[in-house]
Amino acid sequence: MENNNNLTLAICMYNAEVYITETLQSVVNQTLQSFNILIIDDCSTDNSVKLVNDFFVKNSCQYELVQLQENGGICHARHYAERHANTPYLMFLDADDILLPTAVEKMYNKIESDNDLMAVGCYLDYIDKEGKKIGGGLYLGEKSKEAFIEKAARKKLIFMQPTAIYRRELSLKVGGYVIDGFPDGKPRWQDFCEDLDLWTRMSDLYKEGKAIIVVPETLCYYRKTNGLSSNSFYMILKMKYTKSNLLRRRDGKQDLSFIEFFNSLPENELKKIKKESKSADSLRNGVFLIKDKHIIKGIGLVAYSILLRPGYIFEKLKNNLFKK
């Protein structure tokens, strides 16, 4: 990929034929166009690749399409993109999300304004499969360097949206997207909370005055597909793994691999995590059923969630539904 751009905008896709054209249209509609377009296809079995090539026949833009030889999941695709790109800045966009026209310009100008900024993200509003706003969104991240450094110093996990421009060199300095040390096969543990894991490892650089912040403005629409879910166990366990390694690093110890961490967990801790995950899944599924007009069953699941973990519903409302 030969040009003088500083930024690579990467889309990792797998069977994205329903939305990829709309996502690409939002990319070429950006007010700032000085970036490389890199598309990593993770062995799609639908028409995703054809649609990408057809799109760029109609829209004359330079792009690079890499077709991986084996399906490895989102973390593997991002790991590959980090090492394949050759620009100082990298930005990932999900293959079904939609950028608002000024998204790249605003995040790029912000990170360019201060060498101490490791990454700059933005707020995301939820949309449904038809592209309609459904309320709520991802409104995470600190708004200032000072707030971030104070949070990182308190050994907190760094939750922020994946739609962010970040300094590729600093990501690779802390290991980038990690794909080693996980069990083979499925579930692919590396694909759960992979952004949380990266942002939290990058937060160790707060001691050098480095920070991760957001532009506190909705600059992207995040497609949220409703449906019954039961994967909170994997996410909660991955969060605890990320937290454990954060504390180890701050104590001057080496990270554990996920396999080492999992094997070190006592049985009672696993039971506790399973209880937490049942509460999370019951709440999410209960709300989905209520919205889908299955009122009695939905209320029953919400009540079961509260029974398992009384404070969880209030934590969810506080942390995820409202802008701060």
* pLDDT tens-digit series, residues 210-243: 999 999 999 999 998 765 555 788 988 999 999 9
Stated pTM of the model: 0.88
Per-residue DSSP letter, 227: -
Q: Distance between terminal CA atoms of the chain?
A: 40
Count of beta carbons in the 10 Å neighbourhood of residue 317: 10
**Cα 122 to Cα 141: distance, rounded to the nearest angstrom:** 8
CA distance to 88, 189, 219, 297, 316, per residue, from 292 (Å): 45, 30, 29, 11, 20
Q: Which residue has the tokens 């695709």?
A: 77
Predicted confidence (pLDDT) per residue in 39-66, tens digit = 999 999 999 999 999 999 999 889 999 9
Mean pLDDT taken over the chain: 90
pLDDT tens digits for the chain (324 residues)? 345 699 999 999 999 999 999 999 999 999 999 999 999 999 999 999 999 999 999 998 899 999 999 999 999 999 999 999 999 999 999 999 999 999 999 999 999 999 999 999 999 999 999 999 988 899 999 999 999 999 999 999 999 998 999 999 999 999 999 999 999 999 999 999 999 999 999 999 999 999 999 999 999 999 987 655 557 889 889 999 999 999 999 999 999 999 999 999 999 988 888 877 777 766 666 666 676 677 777 677 667 566 656 665 556 555 554 444
What would the two tokens of residue 86 be? 């050759």
Question: What stretch of H or E contains 137?
Answer: strand 133-138
The CA distance from 53 to 66, in Å, is 12
Look at residue 324 in the predicted model and tell me its pLDDT.
Answer: 41
Q: Is 125 within 8 Å of 88 (Cβ atoms)?
A: no
Q: How far apart are CA 208 and CA 148, in angstroms?
A: 13
User: Exposed/middle/buried for 318, CB within 10 Å: 0-12, 13-18, 19+?
Assistant: exposed
Amino acid at 87: T
The residues, any chain, with a CB within 8 Å of residue 318's CB and separated by 6 or more, are none
